[in-house]
Structures are given as structure tokens and as C-alpha cells.
Chains A and B, each alone.
Chain A
Amino acid sequence: MAKRKVLVADDEIHIIHVVAIKLRNNGYEVISAENGAEAFALACEEKPDIIVTDFQMPGMTGLELVRKLRQNETTKDIPVIMLTAKEELEISELLSKPFSPKELLRSIEDILYQRLVMRDK
């Protein structure tokens, strides 16, 4: 089975780094972006299985990124996990900062598993 691809978008390079290590250690392929616009372009190009994004990013916020992804045919079904304290309904999962890499991994696994089950049905 091919490695699952995760796009991590955050303007904090340390956060990308730590998430990337956690996910790679657990068998995921990680691609990263430092702002919303870059993340959107990468999502269209790479079609990741799931996106982890920060809420507050320069240029395009996490929320704007999600809206843009939802409007785009190729990216509209990609689940998104947002790292934020603010609540928004459009997003698959919310994790408040400071977050636990373990919990993030568990959320990613849960969402991808549910997707798999639904697709099989």
C-alpha cells in the first residue's frame, strides 16, 4: 500500500518540523507549506490524503484556505484538520494549540480510517 500523503501548512517552521517527524516516524509521507497560498497550490498539485493547517497564517488564513479548497473540484473532498482555538463547522477536525503530536496522529488515522470504511461501503 502506498504511503499516505499529509500536507502540513503552518507559518511556524518548528511546528511543521515536529509534525513531519511524528508522521514520518509513523509511515506517512509529509509535504509542507509556510502559508495559505502555497498550501493551496501544493494541495491542487499533490492531492494529499489529508491536510493539517494552522488557523492564523500570513497572506491567507487557514479558514480562507479551507473555503478555497472546498470550492475547487480536485481538492473539495480532502479532509482538513485545523490547529486553532477558534470553532468553525466546515472543518473535519479541530485541534486547539498547544496540541499533542500523538493526538494529531490519532485524529489523522481516525479520519483516514473512516474515509476508507465509507469508500468500501
Chain B
Amino acid sequence: MKSVGNLYVIVTGIVAGSLLAEGLASWYYSGDEGGLRFAGYVFVSPVCYFVVAVGVIWLGWYWLRLTGRITSIARALKADKTSHIKSGKGKILNALIEAINNRFSDNSSYIAELENHIKDLQIQIRLSQGQKRNTEAIIYSIRDAVVVIDAFDKLSMANEAAGKLFNFDYKSSQHKLISELVCGEKTKAGEDGFVDFLRQSRRGKVRHTRREINFAKEDGTKTFDCIVSCVYGEAEQVCGVVAVLHDITREKEISQMKNDFVNHVSHELKTPLASISAYSEMLVDGEADDEQTRKEFYSVIQNQAKRLNRLIEDILNTSRIESGLIKVEKKPISLTILIEEQLQMIRSCAEEKKIEIIGQKPIVFNQVYADKDMISQVIINLLSNAVKYTPCGGSIKIETEVDEIASLARVSVTDTGVGIPEDEIEHVFDKFYRVSANKKQAKGTGLGLNLVKQIVEKVHNGRVFVTSEPGVGSTFGFELPLATAEVVKV
């Protein structure tokens, strides 16, 4: 701009100079003409030329000033949008500058507002990104299966448990249709039911719904407590659905076992109670005519009360051993004497069924380090089971052997009873478990063998074992550490 300005000064100077020279020249030569022409030339021409030259110079100066101001305004605009442009002398130019300045001040406040808004948005984005990461961490760390779908039934998010349950890669399955992910090639009722449940919840716009769904898995049917919640958009439309599936298979099993146990136990408790109640009523009502009958009634009541007590003890002992509250008094005891005592107790029951009892062979003199009452309980439980499940005319054999090298004594009770099917044998020591085929054979709480296992393994660090052949018989037994010097010291 400066060079253009300089050029303009030079051109204006040449034009103004040449006009002035032209005026002076015409004035110099005007002496050759007449008087009027002389006067005209002398006064008019130089003045005219002078005025024109001055006019040209003023115009040039004004234009330069104008362009200078405009350039400075442009520069100011370019440099800083918010700067205030200084006003000059020209009225029009000042009005323009004022208008621009006003616009500037308007714009700058608007821009500042926008900038604040952008900052707010950035903070909000950072916060929601943090929240998203938190949510993901929570969902991934939950052991329950979590599945989140959008309004088009496509997967938005799932965790590892969900991936395992439905057999899909939970990290790379986003935006895939849930029906394709969950239902495999083979249509299964559980998976179909789950997808339908999600769809129904989404369409029904129900805030929370709950349903138990069974899934047929390789290791058996699994029951899940499925809670589905709808995610709502701003216009109250459902924009997604969250499903949380909690595995309640074990809880169901335990609950079923508890119910079975209560049923069993209540029946078992009621049986001796029924006798006690009926016999005592008969005595009160004077239905027992003679002393002999009365004695018989008293004896029945007494025995049934003992039976009731044994049953209650069984239940309590199981519970005490499990909770670690039982008092254990271990000392060196003779297995042979202990077994003989229990054999005496069971003999009458065996005789009723004409079951032959083959006593302990060989006689063992070694002692075991154990709680006498508890081991008595173990032996009587094994013997009474043998009597219960052996048909009339069968036999029961009890054997004891000592393994000096392993420093333990082994007791086994072999019967010629109904036996246990192969697929059930591993469960016979489970609490409340009763061999389904043999339930009708005899009554029981399903506690006896569990108590045996608890006493031998948990209290005495021994081992229980069982072998069986259906229709031939079973052998139940246990191993206990011998009462060696080291064991007793410990």
C-alpha cells in the first residue's frame, strides 16, 4: 500500500507540476497577443491551472488518508476481533468505525458466551466418558450376566458372564442382533424365552419385570432369575433394555433340599410321637386292662421317646459339626470294644429280620485316637443302615484291619442288601440324599451317612468309603488314625 501511495504522490506531483508549468508557459507567451487575450491568459489560465493542481493534490492527499484509515481498520480487524478501533476526524469514517466497534462488542460477548459453552460441553464429555468407563467397569465386574440392547434389539453392551452363558464373544459382539447372538443353531426353549422376554419388555415399556428362566446347558438345567429394565429416552420412548440374569440353580437346589428335609424330618419325628401320643392316651383312658399291658405300653412310650431323642440328636449333631460348635474329646480307644457294644444294640433288630451278624474278624488290639461317642454313632449308623436295607434272611459282616505302615485302622460293614446304583453311589454321603430306588425300602432322614462322613473326615481326619453292587450288597467303611505316640501328643 505504501508503494502505491508513493507512486500516487509522484504521479500527482508530475500532473500538478506539468499543469503549473503549462499555466506559467501560457502566461509567458501571452504577451504576443492582444490586450483582452493577454488579460484572460494572464489571470485566468494560471489561476485555473493552479486551482486544478491544488485540487488534484488535495484529492490525492484525501484518498491517501482514506486508504490509510481503511488499511488500519482492516489491520485492526485482522489482528484482534475484539479490539476497539480509534476514531479519527472524518464524520462518515467515524460513523463506520462506530458501527464496526458496536458490532465488535456485540460479537465479542457472543463469542465469549460460545467459548464458555464449549468449555462446559468439553467438561460434560469428559465426565460422561468417565461415567461410561465406570459403568463398564461395574458391568464387567458383576458375576451375574448383564445384557444391554438398543431399541432395535441389537447388543449395546454385555459382560463376560453373559458371554459365557450364551456362548458369544462379549467384547466384539456389539451391534449384532441379540436373537442371533443368544439363540444358536439349535433352538433352545430357554434362549428363545429370554429373547422374547426382552422384546416384550421393550414393547410393553414396563419399567422393571422379573421372570425365572430355565436354560438347558450341557451340565444340566440352570435356573436364572432374570430382571429386565427399560431405558427411557427424553421423549419417554424406550431406547434400550437392560437384562440382569442371576444364577439361582444352587439356591433352588438348596431350597428343594430344605423342603425335602423338613418333610422327611417332620414325618420321622411324627412317627415316634404318634406312638407316644396314642399309647399315653390309651393309658389315660384306662384301655390297658391288666398290669402286663400297662407295662408294655410304658415300655413302648419309653422306647419311642428314645427314638425321638436319637433323631433330634442326629439333626443337632449334623448341625453342630457343620458349624464347628461340637465339643470333641479325643483319647485312645479300643475299636474292638466299641464295635462289640454297638453290635449288642443292633442284634435285636437284626434278629427280627432274621439277619445273621458275622462279628468282627480278626480281633484287633490296636487303639485309635478318637471321640468315643462320635465313633459309636458312626458304627451304629453303618450297622443300622445295613439292617435297614438288607432283606430278611440276609447277613451283615463287620471287619476290622490295621495298616501299620499307614498307621490307620480300617472298619468295614458288608451287607447282602439291595445295593446302590452306580450313578448314585457318589452322592450317598451327601446331606439329605436318599437313594431314589431304595426310598421305599426304609425310612430315613438322609442324615445318617452324612453324619458318618462329617465325624470321620471333619472331626477325625479319617476317610469314609463305599462300594456296592445293586442286588448283591454294599460295603460301607471308614479309616481312622491309630493312637500312636505322635498322634496322641498332638
Contacts and interface: CB of A to CB of B under 8 A. Distances in A.
Q: Are A and B genuine complex partners?
A: yes
B441 A97 contact: no
B441 A15 contact: no
Contacts of A58: 440-443
Interface in A58-102: 58-61, 83, 85, 97-102
Contact of B273 (A11, A98, A101): A98
B277 A100 contact: yes
B266 A102 contact: no
A85 B275 contact: no
Nearest to B297: A18
B441 A18 contact: no
14 contacts: A15-B275, A18-B275, A18-B282, A21-B287, A25-B287, A56-B443, A58-B440, A61-B440, A83-B274, A97-B271, A97-B273, A98-B270, A98-B277, A100-B281
What's the interface size class on B, roughly? 20 to 34
Interface residues of chain B: helix, strand, loop or mixed (majority): helix
Contacts of A25: 287
B227 interface: no
A28 B443 CA distance: 30
Contacts of A5: none
A61 B439 CA distance: 11
A14 B281 CA distance: 14
A99 B273 CA distance: 9
B301 to A, nearest CB: 9
Contacts of A18: 275, 278-279, 282, 300
A102 B285 CA distance: 9
A100 B278 contact: yes
Interface string B260-282: 00000011001101111111011
Nearest to B267: A56
Contacts of B384: none
A35 B266 CA distance: 21
A47 interface: no
Contacts of B281: 100-102
A56 B263 CA distance: 12
Nearest to A14: B275
Nearest to A35: B440
B304 interface: yes
What's the interface size class on A, roughly? 20 to 34
A98 B304 CA distance: 13
Interface string B222-257: 000000000000000000000000000000000000
Interface string B429-468: 0000000000011110000000000000000000000000
A113 B388 CA distance: 41
Please give me the 4 A-B residue pairs with the lowest Cβ-Cβ distance, nearest first: A98-B277, A98-B274, A97-B274, A14-B275
Contacts of A60: 440
Contacts of A19: 278
Contact of A101 (B276, B278, B300, B440): B278
Contact of A21 (B275, B276, B277, B282): B282
B364 to A, nearest CB: 36
Given A56-B443, A98-B276, A22 B282 contact: yes
A46 interface: no
Interface in B105-134: none
B385 to A, nearest CB: 15
A38 interface: no
